[in-house]
Amino acid sequence: MKVNTKKLVLIGVLASAAIILSYIEFLLPPIYSAVPGIKMGLANIAVIFALYSIDGKSAALISVIRVALSALLFGTVTSFIYSACGAILSLTVMILLKKSTLFSPVGVSVAGAVMHNVGQVLCAIIMLGAAEIGYYLVVLSVSAVLAGVLVGLASAVLIKTVKTRP
């Protein structure tokens, strides 16, 4: 990956934006429902913006920085493992879908959100040894679609209005 100063600064700014968004979400009261784990995934706005405005590798780097630093700042070892599992799967799928050029940022975001939950549920099934946790995906998929559409719309607006290359 060709690193120039501009890209370096952009990655730094977007990574800090992602951490702040994670922190805002951490401060919000958790959503109680039939199953745990429903989240907006606001930090994905920064990652999707990077995916479209810089490139896939930078988006992955921002995601890694966000997961590691937010775990250090306000997470636990357990929360780190879960968010890493979700982020790896969601990023892989988002990069592939973006490359396919079949979807708009909204579609990419929805797929990313759903895969984030799939990754976390798989991780929970392995760590806790209870396949029953798979049932959570029924509720989590619906919430992921809703959150994914909102995050995707926000990202699409940003990608359109914020020009990184003058």
Partner 1 sequence: MPAQLCGQICKIMKNKKLRNDIILISAVLLATAIVALILCAFRKEGGYVSVVQNGKETARYSLSENVTVALENGGTNVLVIENGYAFISDASCPDKICVHHRKIRYAGEAITCLPNKTVIKIVSGEGVDAVS
List contacts with partner 1 (CB under 8 A).
Answer: 30, 32, 34-37, 76, 78, 82, 101-104, 106-107, 110-111, 114, 124, 127-130, 132-133, 135-138, 141-142, 144-145, 149
Give the shortest CB-63-to-partner 1 separation in angstroms: 21
Give the shortest CB-71-to-partner 1 separation in angstroms: 14
Give the shortest CB-31-to-partner 1 separation in angstroms: 10
- If the CB atoms of residues 32 and 162 are measured against partner 1, the closer one turns out to be 32
Which whole-number Å values give the CA distances from 112 to 70, 90, 127, in the listed order? 19, 4, 22
- If the CB atoms of residues 1 and 78 are measured against partner 1, the closer one turns out to be 78
- If the CB atoms of residues 18 and 124 are measured against partner 1, the closer one turns out to be 124
Query: CB of 110 within 8 A of CB of 84?
Result: no
Query: CB of 62 within 8 A of CB of 17?
Result: no
Cα–Cα distance for residue pair 93/165, rounded to 1 Å? 26
Give the shortest CB-148-to-partner 1 separation in angstroms: 8
- Alpha helices (runs of H) in the chain, residue ranges in sequence order: 5-27, 44-53, 56-74, 77-100, 105-128, 136-161
- If the CB atoms of residues 31 and 72 are measured against partner 1, the closer one turns out to be 31
Closest CA to 115 of 137, 100, 133: 137
Task: Bin 28: left if φ > 0, else alpha if -120 < ψ < 50, else beta.
Answer: beta
- If the CB atoms of residues 56 and 75 are measured against partner 1, the closer one turns out to be 75
Give the shortest CB-96-to-partner 1 separation in angstroms: 13
